[in-house]
């Protein structure tokens, strides 16, 4: 079992009154929507019609939502294989996502990518890579382009803790620091690389953000079960990057409540304890924000139910759209293939 050096504290140190009710509702609803979409995917996955592997973000939604809300629509994001939350939080089209998961011709990647490659350039969800840390140098290149063209665009790149075990990550970090690139490194530390816990992969005395700081970058470790903390931290980093202050590294600590891949929890295989999973269920980013808002009379059950009902209709429609869409035709097989 992972020895937690850091665990969510909820909202005890956060002044929720600093934020408008409209913003809080949008942020909460964005997390609930992502959770509901993933739960629907999960409930239908066994039907074996979605031929794509999936990596659910349940438990880690606050990183996607807080970070994307702090960025501008014109800013660009790049992601690892755990894409759903980032794609949806940035405004990616749900129907195109579902078609992609069902491998239909009108999927957001024309069914070439599947769940690990959700892209919607119209909203700045630019690219993903399933190669651990593979997306980091690509995002660096985008940040370099933004700087050279003086675009004022900030790049956010999401990756898991295992990406920090790859050389490509450290080379990219060093380069970004030297060139003061407008990039935010958004490490999603959920403690596991598939089934291997962090304390079997890193010396116990080492914190990830400290390691990054050793390279000379401003590095922070935050409780990413607290959405407002993510939002504030990324807002600050984005402003700094936009004003020429260079990159920031943010270690977003939150727990993956489902298995590494596929539907359901895989804890019974023995790599983590059910009590460990339960203890993180209690600080689920959605319930903690919802409760905090209820305590401040900012939301009630009716409002939540209304939102959930509308979202379920949207989800049903997106699933219907996907399953009734055509498969890619055989003669399109060689399209988007660069080699002759
Ligand atoms: C270079 C490389 N090595 C190994 C793999 C196999 N692999 C796929 S996901 C994964 C774990 C990734 O863990 P992390 O980066 O922490 O992200 P998480 O899945 O926890 O979100 C591994 C090892 C891979 N895709 N790429």
- Cβ of 60 closer than 6 Å to ligand 1, yes or no, is no
Fold entry, domain 16-319:
Rossmann fold (3.40.50)
Q: What pLDDT, on the 0 to 100 scale, is given for residue 2?
A: 53
Cα(191)–Cα(272) distance, integer angstroms: 11
- 322-326: which pairs have CB atoms within 8 A and are 24 or more residues apart? 322/95, 322/98, 322/99, 322/101, 322/102, 322/104, 323/49, 323/102, 325/99, 325/102, 325/104, 325/105, 325/106, 326/104, 326/105, 326/106
Region 106-134: mean pLDDT is 97
Q: What is the band of 95 on the pLDDT scale with cuts at 50, 70, 90?
A: very high
The DSSP-derived string for 44-88 is HGGGS---S-----TT-HHHHHHHHHHS-TTSEEEE-S--HHHHH
More confident residue, 239 or 6: 239
CA of residue 61 to ligand 1 center, whole Å: 19
Q: Tally Cβ neighbours within 10 Å of residue 203.
A: 7
Cβ within 8 Å of residue 121, ≥6 positions away: none
The model's pLDDT over 307-321, given as tens digits with 9 standing for 90+, comes to 999 999 999 999 999
Q: Which atom of ligand 1 is nearest to the CA of 194?
A: 11
- CB of 271 closer than 8 Å to CB of 206: no
- Confidence tier at 339 by pLDDT (50, 70, 90): low
Q: What is the pLDDT of residues 58-81, one digit of tens each?
A: 999 999 999 999 999 999 999 999
Please give the model's pTM, rounded to 2 decimal places.
0.97
Mean pLDDT computed over 5-14: 79
Return d(Cα 39, Cα 37) in angstroms, integer. 6
Q: Report whether residue 252 contacts ligand 1, using a CB cutoff of 6 Å.
A: no
Segment 174-195 mean pLDDT: 98
190 alpha carbon – ligand 1 mean position (Å): 12
Using one digit for the tens of pLDDT, what is the confidence trace for 139-182?
999 999 999 999 999 999 999 999 999 999 999 999 999 999 99
Rounded Cα–Cα distance for residues 139 and 183 (Å) = 8
SS3 of 222, please?
A: strand
Write the CB contacts of 322 (distance below 8 Å, at least 6 apart in sequence). Answer: 95, 98, 99, 101, 102, 104
pLDDT in tens, 231-280: 999 999 999 999 999 999 999 999 999 999 999 999 999 999 999 999 99
Q: Name the residue at shortest CA distance from atom 25 of ligand 1.
A: 131
Write down the pLDDT at residue 9: 78
Looking at residue 248, what DSSP letter applies? E
Q: Is the CB of 83 under 6 A from ligand 1?
A: no
User: Which pLDDT band holds residue 10 (cuts at 50, 70, 90)?
Assistant: confident
**SS3 sequence of 138-202:** HHHHHHHHHHHCCCCCCEEEEEEHHHHHCHHHHHHHHHHHHHCCCEEEEEEECCEECCEEHHHCC
* DSSP type of residue 322: H
8-29 burial, b at 16+ Cβ within 10 Å, e below that, comes to: bebbeebeeeebeeeebbebbb
Which residues lie below 8 Å from residue 4, measured CB to CB, with a gap of 6+? 191
Q: CA dist 217 to 156, 249, 306, Å?
A: 15, 7, 44
**pLDDT score for 294:** 97
* The pLDDT of residue 336: 78
């Amino acid at each position: 079992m992972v020895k937690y050096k850091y665990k969510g504290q909820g909202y005890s140190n956060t002044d929720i009154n600093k934020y408008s009710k409209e913003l809080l509702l949008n942020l909460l609803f964005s997390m609930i929507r992502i959770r509901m979409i993933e739960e629907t995917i999960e409930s239908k996955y066994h039907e074996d019609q979605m031929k794509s592997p999936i990596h659910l973000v349940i438990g880690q939604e606050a990183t996607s939502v807080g970070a994307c809300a702090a960025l501008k629509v014109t800013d660009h994001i790049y992601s690892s294989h755990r894409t759903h939350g980032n794609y949806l939080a940035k405004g990616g089209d749900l129907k195109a996502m579902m078609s992609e998961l069902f491998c239909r011709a009108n999927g957001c990647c024309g069914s070439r990518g599947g769940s690990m490659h959700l892209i919607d350039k119209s909203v700045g969800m630019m690219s993903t890579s399933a190669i651990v840390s593979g997306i980091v140098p690509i995002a660096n290149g985008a940040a370099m382009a933004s700087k050279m063209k003086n675009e004022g665009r900030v790049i956010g790149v999401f990756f898991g803790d295992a990406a920090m075990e790859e050389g490509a990550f450290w080379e990219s970090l060093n380069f970004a620091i030297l060139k003061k690139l407008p990039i935010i490194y958004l490490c999603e530390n959920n403690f596991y690389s598939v089934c291997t816990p962090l304390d079997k992969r890193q010396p116990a005395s080492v914190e990830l953000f400290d390691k990054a700081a050793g390279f000379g970058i401003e590095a922070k470790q935050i409780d990413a079960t607290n959405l407002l903390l993510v939002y504030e931290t990324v807002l600050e980093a984005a402003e700094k990057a936009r004003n020429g202050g260079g990159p920031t590294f943010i270690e977003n600590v939150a727990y993956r409540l489902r298995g590494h891949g596929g539907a359901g929890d895989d804890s019974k295989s023995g790599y983590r304890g059910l009590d460990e999973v339960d203890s993180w269920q209690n600080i689920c980013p959605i319930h903690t924000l919802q409760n905090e808002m209820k305590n401040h009379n900012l939301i009630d059950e009716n409002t939540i139910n209304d939102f959930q009902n509308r979202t379920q209709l949207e989800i049903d429609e997106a699933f219907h759209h996907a399953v009734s869409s055509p498969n890619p035709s055989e003669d399109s097989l060689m399209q988007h293939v660069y080699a002759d």
